[in-house]
Structure 1
Amino acid sequence: MDGLLALAISWFVLVGIVYLLNRSAVRYFLAIYWKSERLVRYVEAFTRRLSFVPLRAYLVVALTLFAVPVFVAIPFVRPDGQVQILWGFLYMLVGGTLNALGALFRGAPPEEAAARSAGVTPIIPGVTLPWDQLPYMAVAVAVGVVLHELMHGYAALRYGIPVRSVGVFSLFYILSGAFVEPDEEQFKKANTEAKLAVLASGVAVNVVVALSAMLLGVAGAWAGLQGAVFGVPAYGVQPGDRVIGIHGCGLQDAVYTPDDLLTKLNVLAGLGPLMGINKTVNCKPGDKVTLVAASWLHRYEVTLDYTSFTTPPRINWLYTDGSLYLGGVRPGDVVTKIEGCGRTWETPTSGQLLSAVIETRAVCRAGDSVRVYVERNGTLHVFNVTLVEKGGKIFYGLGPGSLPMIGYDAGPIKRDQLYNTDFTKLVFWLIVVNYGLAVLNALPIYPLDGGQLLAAAIQRRLGEKRGNAVVSAVTWVLAAMLIFNIALGVLGEQYRILQSIR
């Protein structure tokens, strides 16, 4: 509620300033709508400064950037510099719709169908988005929308289309934006090249901002501006300080986010394979682990025994068709030792239990029997477990979360006590908002930029009447898919991903 109060105060301060400058721009102190012909001169000045850019080269670049996020793919650059590929959103929208519909027809619940969809989540502050994230998103929206409209105006003026007015609007930060109004009659009379340039420019600049924010994130990570901010004292790190690196047992990594920290701590604990991570470490009794921490004033290191990053070998859950469950082991049991195939494995930690399970696959075969020692309600039990096979490998029945995970089931700190830095949150929303603006506006749905661009291109080939029919059909089909994915995202509670951002 403190964050909401600060947000409300900042809004009324902003409204008060705007009211003093232009009383007619304030509507009931809840909305700002400022439209001015005088602001056009700033767009004209910006256009004059960039008038040296050749129009033909500009058109090619703008159309390429316009097409990439929706029809092709764009790179996603992680803070550690690794590059992943985000496939064209149109492919994800159509494929996600078909996959989700197939799941629903098979009787799957909305949650499962939503996991197969395009993952479209409406951003509604206080509902799907925590209030404390709104300031960062508001800045990202302001940057993305202002640049989007500015480039529309730039392209219009470069192609000789007058701009009538420029304006901004906001409804308590939730619905905010800017607009540039080219002369409608002159735009209609313009040639196809001019229309394509004007319509593609806004999406193109959003793609540039999203990619630039990714590179900014890499630079910030290198400068130590990211990390996991601690909300409580743990591991010798004080509240408000952030962990930016972890060294020990062969692990020498930077830390970028809270989830990144917990992932690396669980790898350190030997639980990487349960998280789908093949990277392993080799910790021994007496080994030390160093956390590199930072506050606003200095950096410092905290050195701890590696046992500070281990969890007990307690079973949280098991697949019922796995060797352990079939042999009598149950959730809640603590596995202390495994014997069989000529070997004995002591398992004082969950990481060592997982290592023992992996090693038995190399020395045992399906059908062999091992003795599993467990503590259940303070009593020692021994089970003769016959090893079963699944997918060509011995299958114990362990899966993600079957053993206690640091930050989730065990450890001095929980996931909800870790926070991203302000820099990380701003970069995150710059990427999300600008990518979202790009793919939404580039979709061939009329009257979005993509729909208008499709109309301009197809009417030239088929004529106005037949072209409008094609554009209308494409619009209805894609709009229905978009609405379906949004509804499924709400029903399937995909917005909880946004709510987990801290």
Structure 2
Amino acid sequence: MLSRLPKFKDVFEKRNVGVYPFIIFWKRPSARKLSGVGRGVRLLINVYAFIGIAVLVYSMFIFYNLIINFGLVEIIRKVAVGNVTQVRSPLVPVVPGVTIPFREFIYIGLGIAIGVVVHELGHALVLLHEGIKLTGWGFGVFIIFPFAFVEPAEDEFKKSRLISKLKVLSSGVLNNAILAILLAMLIIPPLASSLAGYSVVTITSTIPGSPADRAGVPTPSIILTINGTSVRDIDGLRNYLMPYVNKSVTFNMTLILPDGSIGSYLIRKLSNESLLGIYITQDVKELINAGGYYIVKDPPQLPLFRLAFWTYIVNYSLAIINAAPLIVTDGAQYINELLKKFLGEGRGGKVSNAIQIFTVALTIILLIIGLLRRV
């Protein structure tokens, strides 16, 4: 390992740099207070911290409403009437290639990295505002994903007032919620609008023996026109075909074929056939007419949209999940501190553990159901 070679070890240590397999990070030894911050800014940070408490409580409510009303209660209802096969879960785990496409994984990873950095910065800000020493803090990179970390002085945190603890524990959730809201309101809408003109309908496969199959329609192909009418989205195609459901008709469909060339196919549908027999998806693609064939590629702003979208999803999820009492989360510590304060160390700890065990068990069950429904 590079950092353990005598030649490099002193250089890394002097610069507070750590190097491990897949990880490199920079760490500041300690920090005790916010420097150069005026009274007005401190007041704003205090208001921000109290808002964080409200946001964590609300996020915890959302989580329990999700897993109990839309999870446990629905499962009991379906099982009670014998519809076990209809049981659904409001929670779905992130499994690349199963619940999400592999191509989205890089954006989810970056979204998680951004979420972790934002989350930890919230903790650091409020810790310093409350006068709780940081024994260390810093930034790093895991493989290609950035991360941040803070290390509060455990003894000082344990001795601090309850309200200070609640402020600190809530601040990370608040930061994730703020980032999710900003993305949803300011970043994603204009990006989505800019992509609207790149919508295409792709035929992914055909049903054997169907009109499209008999016409020899190749897949995957992008639909350009049907009987001269431009096709840009699934709703438009469906609305065009609806009047011909129970009629004998021939459609002239112009397609961009898998090799980029243009082809026209006559699809003859009989009156006893209600469907063309095509499976379609709506994609976002830039079509460049190169004279006789098309170059099909992703629009230049699509990666930015995907990053913004998944960062929103990840940060919204982090705000909800971290607010839930799931043993290692901020919500778990939040519940633990409150119950121990008002019920006593022993009784409060037992009630806290019971709540967390129930929450974790139900969450795991719902995640398993969610995964099985996607496999």
TM-score (norm 2): 0.69
- Relative to structure 1, is the Cα distance of residues 465 and 151 closer, same or farther in structure 2, using a 3 angstrom cutoff? same
Q: 1:439 and 1:49 mapped to 2: Cα distance?
A: 32
Partner of 1:336: 247
State the Cα distance separating 1:94 from its structure 2 match. 0.9
Post-superposition CA distance 1:53-101 (Å, at most 9, x none): 3454223211122233332xxxxxxxxxxxxxxxx22101112123124
- Relative to structure 1, is the Cα distance of residues 34 and 68 closer, same or farther in structure 2, using a 3 angstrom cutoff? same
- Relative to structure 1, is the Cα distance of residues 147 and 42 closer, same or farther in structure 2, using a 3 angstrom cutoff? farther
Whether 1:235 and 2:227 are equivalent positions in the alignment is no
Q: 2:75 and 2:97 mapped to 1: Cα distance?
A: 27
Partner of 1:153: 124
1:121–1:489 CA contact under 8 A, matched in 2: yes
Post-superposition CA distance 1:278-310 (Å, at most 9, x none): xxxxxxxxxxxxxxxxxxxxxxxxxxxxxxx54
Partner of 1:436: 317
Whether 1:103 and 2:78 are equivalent positions in the alignment is yes
Whether 1:178 and 2:178 are equivalent positions in the alignment is no
Post-superposition CA distance 1:171-227 (Å, at most 9, x none): 5468x74321110000000001100110000000100111111011123345x2555
Q: 1:463 and 1:190 mapped to 2: Cα distance?
A: 17
1:26–1:32 CA contact under 8 A, matched in 2: yes
Whether 1:53 and 2:24 are equivalent positions in the alignment is no
- Relative to structure 1, is the Cα distance of residues 461 and 113 closer, same or farther in structure 2, using a 3 angstrom cutoff? same
Match of 1:93 among 67, 72, 78: 67
Post-superposition CA distance 1:363-382 (Å, at most 9, x none): xxxxxxxxxxx7349xxxxx
Q: 1:214 and 1:491 mapped to 2: Cα distance?
A: 30
Partner of 1:195: 165
Partner of 2:244: 313
Post-superposition CA distance 1:212-265 (Å, at most 9, x none): 11011123345x2555455876538xxxxxxxxxxx99xxxxxxxx9xx63442
2:27–2:139 CA contact under 8 A, matched in 1: no
CA RMSD of aligned residues (A): 3.9
Partner of 2:25: 34
Partner of 1:461: 342
Partner of 2:271: 375
Q: 1:47 and 1:127 mapped to 2: Cα distance?
A: 49
Q: 1:47 and 1:435 mapped to 2: Cα distance?
A: 30
- Relative to structure 1, is the Cα distance of residues 264 and 67 closer, same or farther in structure 2, using a 3 angstrom cutoff? farther
Q: 1:227 and 1:432 mapped to 2: Cα distance?
A: 24
- Relative to structure 1, is the Cα distance of residues 167 and 104 closer, same or farther in structure 2, using a 3 angstrom cutoff? farther
- Relative to structure 1, is the Cα distance of residues 227 and 93 closer, same or farther in structure 2, using a 3 angstrom cutoff? farther
Question: Unpaired runs of 5+ in structure 1?
Answer: 1-18, 72-87, 237-247, 250-257, 271-308, 315-334, 338-346, 350-373, 378-401, 495-502
Counterpart amino acid of residue 59 in structure 2? P
Q: 1:203 and 1:35 mapped to 2: Cα distance?
A: 24
- Relative to structure 1, is the Cα distance of residues 180 and 226 closer, same or farther in structure 2, using a 3 angstrom cutoff? farther
Q: 2:223 and 2:247 mapped to 1: Cα distance?
A: 28
Q: 1:50 and 1:122 mapped to 2: Cα distance?
A: 43
Question: Unpaired runs of 5+ in structure 2?
Answer: 1-8, 203-220, 252-269, 286-297
- Relative to structure 1, is the Cα distance of residues 491 and 43 closer, same or farther in structure 2, using a 3 angstrom cutoff? farther
1:161–1:186 CA contact under 8 A, matched in 2: yes
State the Cα distance separating 1:33 from its structure 2 match. 5.4
Counterpart amino acid of residue 65 in structure 1? V
TM-score (norm 1): 0.53
1:65–1:204 CA contact under 8 A, matched in 2: yes
**Map 1:307-456 → 2, pairs under 5 A:** 309-310=240-241, 313-314=244-245, 335-336=246-247, 375-376=271-272, 409=279, 414-415=281-282, 421-456=302-337
Q: 1:311 and 1:480 mapped to 2: Cα distance?
A: 47
Partner of 1:140: 111
More helix by share: 2
Counterpart amino acid of residue 62 in structure 1? G
Whether 1:476 and 2:357 are equivalent positions in the alignment is yes
**Map 1:296-307 → 2, pairs under 5 A:** none
Counterpart amino acid of residue 27 in structure 2? S
State the Cα distance separating 1:148 from its structure 2 match. 0.2
Q: 1:43 and 1:132 mapped to 2: Cα distance?
A: 43
2:31–2:136 CA contact under 8 A, matched in 1: no
Match of 2:179 among 182, 190, 209: 209
Counterpart amino acid of residue 131 in structure 1? F
- Relative to structure 1, is the Cα distance of residues 468 and 452 closer, same or farther in structure 2, using a 3 angstrom cutoff? same
State the Cα distance separating 1:51 from its structure 2 match. 4.0
Match of 1:63 among 53, 64, 76: 53
Q: Out of 430-439 and 126-135, give the one that drifted further.
A: 126-135
Partner of 2:94: 123
Match of 2:107, SS?
helix
